[in-house]
C-alpha cells in the first residue's frame, strides 16, 4: 500500500517527460541521467538508513562537497595512488559520520539541528580548503585510466556509478531486511524505548546509521570527482534537500521504523527524473528549488497524514460483518428441555481462589496434578492430592489457551499470538509450529498463527488444533464476533514430518477440539455458529465435516472427553435474541463498528454459561448451570477426572470442582488417550 503513490507518480512522470521532451528516452540521455542517479542514489540510500533509524542527516550536501574536494586534492594535487586516495576519502566521510553519530547517538542531540550545524561547519571547511586548492586542482591533470574509467566508463553498457549503485543497493537491501543489524536499525527507528528494553544497543545503532550515511555520501562524492574533475562553491549545494525529498517521496517515514532500499531508489529515480526534466524543459533557475520544495512538502504531508489515517482507514475497511442466521435457540425455561436452567454448579468446590488469573483451560495428569493456563503466560500446577499447593509449572509467554497431554506426558499448549508449543516433562518449553501453508488468494498473510485456541492429539501423534480466527488477535475476539464470518480453521501438525497444514477452513471461530473416543473423527466447536461438528479422519466420510449439535443455546468453547463414551462441552455464554437478530443484519453491525465507540458495541453475552454433557451421537444428556451466578457462572473449559469435573473460565479467578453422579470413578483423560501406564 505504501508504494502505490510513489509508483504511480513515477509512471506518470516518466510518461509525461517522454511525451513532452524529445529524445528524453534516448540512449545518451538515459546514460547521463543514470550516471548522475548513481551518485544521487548512494546519498539517498544513506539518508534512508539514517531515517529508518529515526534520524536525519542534513550534512550530506556539505559532506559530499568535502569528499569531492578531498578526492581531487589527493589524486590531482598530492598524486596519491588511486586506492589510497579513495580509501582516505571514504575515511573522511566515515569520520564526518562518526562525529554526527557521536553527537546524536551518544550525546543524544537533536538530529535535525546537529546535522544542520554540521552542514554549515563542513561547508565552511570546504570553502576554506577550496580557496587553497581550487586553482591547483584546475591546473593539474591526472593520467589514470582507472580514474577515467570510474568517471566515464561503462560496464555492459551501464555507467560505472550506476553499477556501483546497483551493487550497494543490493547489499544494503540484504543488510536491512535480512541481517540482525538491519533489524536493529528498524527497531530503534520504530520505537527507541522498546528497542532499548529489548536489549538493543540503541546509541551505537544510531551512531552507526550516520557512519553508513557518511561513507556512502563520500563514495558518491568520489564518483562525482571522477566524473567532473572539478569543485566549485555550489558543489553539493541543496543536495540534502533533494535527498530528503527523494527518501520521503519514495515512502520512507519521518521518525523512522518504516522504509526500505527499494523505496529509496524509487524516490531517487523520481527526483532525478524531475530535476533532469526541468533542466531539459529549459525552466529558469528558481524552478528547480520551487519544485523540490513543493514536492518535499507534498511528500511529508502524505507521509504524516497517511501515518495518521491508515489505522482509521483500516478500521473502516477491515471490519466486514456478514449475514449469519442461527437456528432457533432451544428454550431454557422448560423443565423438559435438556438445556433447562438449574443450579447444580452452586455447590462447586473452589480451588485456588484469587491465585489464578483466567484459567482458560484446565487439565489433570495421571498423578492427579491439576494444570491451568493463565493470563500471565504461565502454566500453573496445583499439586495432588488436595490441590492447595500451587507452583508455576512453566512460563511459556503469550496467552496460553487449550492444553493436552501427549503420549510421553508432555503438555502441548496452544498459545494465542505464538502458536503451538510443548512443555516437556522436565519443564523445558519448545516451539512445535507457528506457521502453516499460506492460502493462494488471501490478501492478509494467513501463514502465521494469530490465535491458536485448542488442540487434541491423534493416536499417531499428529496434533489437530484450531485457530479461532485468522483476522484478529486474542484481544480483538469481539470484533471477530461482530463479523460473524468464517475466519477460523483447523490445522494439523505432523511432528514426524515437522509440517503444518490447514485441514478445514472458514469456520465460525473454531474453538474446542476433541478426538472422538474411537479416534476416527474429531469433534470441534464453532463458537459464533453455536454448534458442535465432526471432522472425519478415516472411514467412508474421511475428510468431510458434519454437524453434530446444530443448535446450542450458547457459544461453545472447549470440548473434552468424559467417561462412559460421553463428551463435555463448555458454553462460554448464552445466546440472546437481540444479538441473534443483529447477526442477520450485517449493515447494522457495519454501521455500529464504524460509528460507535468499541465499548458501546452490542456484545455477545459471555457472562453466564454452562456445561453440556452429550454422547457420541450428539444427544444432550444433561446441562449444568449456576442459575444464581454465585460460584461458577462463566465456564470455558472442563475436565472429567476420577468422577469429578474440574471447571475453568477465561475470566475467572478460580477453578471449580464438582462430583458427577454416575461417572466412572476411575476414568482419567490421559488413560483414555494413552492407556493406563501405571
629 in Cβ contact with 601 (< 8 Å): no
Instruction: Determine the length of the chain.
Output: 678
| Residue 470 Cβ vs other proteins, minimum distance, rounded to whole Å | 30
Nearer of residues 82 and 287 to other proteins, judged by Cβ: 287
| Residue 266 Cβ vs other proteins, minimum distance, rounded to whole Å | 19
| Residue 32 Cβ vs other proteins, minimum distance, rounded to whole Å | 23
Residues 6 or more apart whose CB falls under 8 angstroms from that of 386 comprise none
Nearer of residues 56 and 211 to other proteins, judged by Cβ: 56
Pairing of strands 390-395, 378-382: antiparallel
In angstroms, the CA 349 to CA 328 distance is 34
| Residue 127 Cβ vs other proteins, minimum distance, rounded to whole Å | 5
Query: Could you say which DSSP state residue 451 is in?
Result: B
| Residue 267 Cβ vs other proteins, minimum distance, rounded to whole Å | 15
Between helices 82-101 and 60-72, what is the axis angle to 10°?
Answer: 150
In angstroms, the CA 667 to CA 675 distance is 11
In angstroms, the CA 341 to CA 634 distance is 14
Nearer of residues 23 and 120 to other proteins, judged by Cβ: 120
| Residue 231 Cβ vs other proteins, minimum distance, rounded to whole Å | 14
Nearer of residues 54 and 656 to other proteins, judged by Cβ: 54
Binding footprint of other proteins on the chain (CB under 8 A): 54-56, 103, 107-114, 116-121, 123-125, 127-128, 131, 191, 237-238, 241, 244-245, 253-256, 283-294, 296-297, 300-301, 304-305, 308
Q: How far is CA 300 from CA 106, 246, 271, in A?
A: 28, 11, 15
Query: Could you say which DSSP state residue 422 is in?
Result: E
Cell numbers placing 473: 488477535
Q: Order across the sheet with 510-515: list the strands.
A: 510-515, 521-526, 531-536, 545-549
| Residue 117 Cβ vs other proteins, minimum distance, rounded to whole Å | 5
Distance of CA 38 to the CA centre of its chain: 33
Q: How far is CA 541 from CA 304, 519, 534, 544, in A?
A: 56, 14, 11, 6
Cell numbers placing 590: 457495519
| Residue 300 Cβ vs other proteins, minimum distance, rounded to whole Å | 5
| Residue 404 Cβ vs other proteins, minimum distance, rounded to whole Å | 43
| Residue 288 Cβ vs other proteins, minimum distance, rounded to whole Å | 7
Nearer of residues 81 and 293 to other proteins, judged by Cβ: 293
Q: Kind and range of the H or E element at 134? A: helix 111-139
Nearer of residues 150 and 247 to other proteins, judged by Cβ: 247
Cell numbers placing 253: 517515514
Query: Could you say which DSSP state residue 475 is in?
Result: G
Nearer of residues 18 and 313 to other proteins, judged by Cβ: 313
| Residue 292 Cβ vs other proteins, minimum distance, rounded to whole Å | 6
Nearer of residues 312 and 425 to other proteins, judged by Cβ: 312
548 in Cβ contact with 524 (< 8 Å): no
Nearer of residues 132 and 591 to other proteins, judged by Cβ: 132
Q: Order across the sheet with 554-561: list the strands.
A: 554-561, 566-574, 610-615, 620-624
Nearer of residues 34 and 275 to other proteins, judged by Cβ: 275
What is the number of other CB atoms lying within 10 angstroms of the CB of residue 7?
A: 13
Query: Which backbone phi and psi does 452 adopt, to 5 degrees?
Result: -65, 130
Nearer of residues 57 and 467 to other proteins, judged by Cβ: 57
| Residue 64 Cβ vs other proteins, minimum distance, rounded to whole Å | 15
Nearer of residues 25 and 124 to other proteins, judged by Cβ: 124
Write down the residue that cell numbers 500451587 correspond to. Answer: 390
Q: Kind and range of the H or E element at 635? A: none
In angstroms, the CA 462 to CA 669 distance is 18
In angstroms, the CA 160 to CA 45 distance is 17
| Residue 55 Cβ vs other proteins, minimum distance, rounded to whole Å | 6
355 in Cβ contact with 390 (< 8 Å): yes
Nearer of residues 62 and 229 to other proteins, judged by Cβ: 62
Amino acid at each position: 500500500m505504501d508504494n502505490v503513490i510513489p509508483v504511480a507518480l513515477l509512471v506518470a512522470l516518466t510518461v509525461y517527460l517522454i511525451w513532452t521532451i524529445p529524445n528524453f528516452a534516448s540512449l545518451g540521455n538515459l546514460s547521463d541521467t543514470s550516471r548522475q542517479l548513481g551518485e544521487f542514489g548512494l546519498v539517498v540510500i544513506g539518508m534512508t538508513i539514517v531515517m529508518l533509524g529515526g534520524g536525519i542527516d542534513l550534512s550530506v550536501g556539505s559532506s559530499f562537497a568535502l569528499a569531492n574536494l578531498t578526492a581531487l586534492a589527493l589524486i590531482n594535487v598530492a598524486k596519491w595512488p588511486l586506492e589510497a586516495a579513495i580509501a582516505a576519502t571514504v575515511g573522511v566521510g566515515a569520520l564526518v559520520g562518526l562525529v554526527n553519530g557521536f553527537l546524536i547517538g551518544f550525546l543524544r542531540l537533536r538530529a535535525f539541528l546537529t546535522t544542520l550545524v554540521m552542514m554549515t561547519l563542513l561547508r565552511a571547511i570546504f570553502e576554506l580548503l577550496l580557496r587553497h586548492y581550487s586553482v591547483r586542482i584546475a591546473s593539474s591533470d591526472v593520467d589514470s585510466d582507472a580514474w577515467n574509467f570510474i568517471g566515464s566508463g561503462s560496464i555492459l553498457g551501464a555507467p560505472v556509478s550506476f553499477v556501483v549503485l546497483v551493487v550497494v543497493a543490493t547489499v544494503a537491501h540484504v543488510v536491512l531486511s535480512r541481517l540482525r543489524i538491519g533489524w536493529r536499525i528498524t527497531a530503534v527507528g520504530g520505537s527507541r524505548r522498546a528497542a532499548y528494553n529489548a536489549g538493543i544497543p540503541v546509541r551505537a545503532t544510531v551512531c552507526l546509521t550516520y557512519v553508513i550515511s557518511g561513507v556512502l555520501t563520500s563514495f558518491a562524492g568520489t564518483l562525482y570527482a571522477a566524473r567532473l574533475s572539478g569543485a566549485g562553491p555550489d558543489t553539493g549545494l541543496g543536495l540534502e534537500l533533494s535527498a530528503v525529498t527523494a527518501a520521503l517521496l519514495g515512502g520512507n517515514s519521518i521518525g523512522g521504523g518504516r522504509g526500505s532500499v527499494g523505496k529509496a531508489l524509487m524516490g531517487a529515480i523520481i527526483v532525478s527524473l524531475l530535476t533532469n526534466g526541468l533542466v531539459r524543459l529549459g525552466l529558469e533557475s528558481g524552478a528547480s528549488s520551487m519544485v523540490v520544495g513543493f514536492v518535499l512538502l507534498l511528500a511529508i504531508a502524505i507521509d504524516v497524514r497517511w501515518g495518521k489515517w491508515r489505522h482509521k482507514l483500516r478500521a473502516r475497511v477491515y471490519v466486514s460483518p456478514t449475514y449469519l442466521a442461527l437456528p432457533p435457540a432451544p428454550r431454557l425455561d422448560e423443565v423438559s428441555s435438556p438445556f433447562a436452567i438449574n443450579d447444580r454448579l452452586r455447590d462447586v468446590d473452589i480451588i485456588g481462589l484469587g491465585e489464578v488469573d483466567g484459567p482458560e483451560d484446565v487439565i489433570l495428569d495421571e498423578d492427579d496434578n491439576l494444570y491451568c493456563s493463565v493470563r500471565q503466560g504461565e502454566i500453573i500446577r496445583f499439586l495432588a492430592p488436595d490441590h492447595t499447593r500451587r507452583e508455576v509449572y512453566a512460563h511459556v509467554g503469550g496467552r496460553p489457551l487449550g492444553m493436552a497431554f501427549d503420549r510421553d506426558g508432555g503438555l502441548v499448549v496452544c498459545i494465542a499470538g505464538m502458536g503451538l508449543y510443548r512443555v516437556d516433562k522436565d519443564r523445558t518449553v519448545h516451539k512445535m509450529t507457528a506457521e502453516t501453508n499460506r492460502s493462494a488468494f488471501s490478501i492478509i498473510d494467513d501463514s502465521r498463527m494469530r490465535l491458536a485456541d485448542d488442540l487434541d492429539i491423534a493416536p499417531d501423534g499428529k496434533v489437530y488444533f484450531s485457530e479461532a480466527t485468522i483476522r484478529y488477535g486474542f484481544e480483538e475476539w469481539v470484533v471477530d464476533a461482530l463479523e460473524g464470518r468464517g475466519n477460523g480453521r483447523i490445522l494439523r501438525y505432523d511432528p514426524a514430518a515437522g509440517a503444518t497444514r490447514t485441514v478445514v477452513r472458514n469456520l465460525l471461530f473454531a474453538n474446542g477440539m476433541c478426538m472422538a473416543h474411537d479416534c476416527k473423527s474429531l469433534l470441534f466447536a464453532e463458537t459464533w455458529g453455536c454448534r458442535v461438528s465432526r471432522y472425519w479422519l478415516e472411514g467412508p466420510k474421511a475428510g468431510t465435516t458434519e454437524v453434530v449439535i446444530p443448535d446450542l443455546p450458547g457459544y461453545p468453547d472447549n470440548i473434552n472427553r468424559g467417561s462412559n463414551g460421553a463428551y463435555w462441552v463448555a458454553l462460554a455464554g448464552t445466546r440472546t435474541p437481540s444479538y441473534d437478530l443483529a447477526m442477520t443484519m450485517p449493515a447494522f453491525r457495519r454501521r455500529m463498528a464504524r460509528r460507535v465507540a468499541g465499548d458501546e458495541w452490542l456484545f455477545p453475552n459471555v457472562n453466564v454459561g454452562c456445561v453440556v454433557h452429550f454422547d457420541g451421537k450428539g444427544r444432550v444428556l444433561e446441562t449444568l448451570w449456576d442459575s444464581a451466578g454465585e460460584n461458577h457462572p462463566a465456564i470455558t473449559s472442563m475436565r472429567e477426572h476420577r468422577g469429578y469435573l474440574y471447571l475453568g473460565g477465561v475470566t475467572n479467578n478460580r477453578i471449580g470442582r464438582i462430583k458427577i453422579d454416575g461417572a466412572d470413578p476411575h476414568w482419567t483423560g490421559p488413560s483414555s488417550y494413552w492407556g493406563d501406564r501405571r
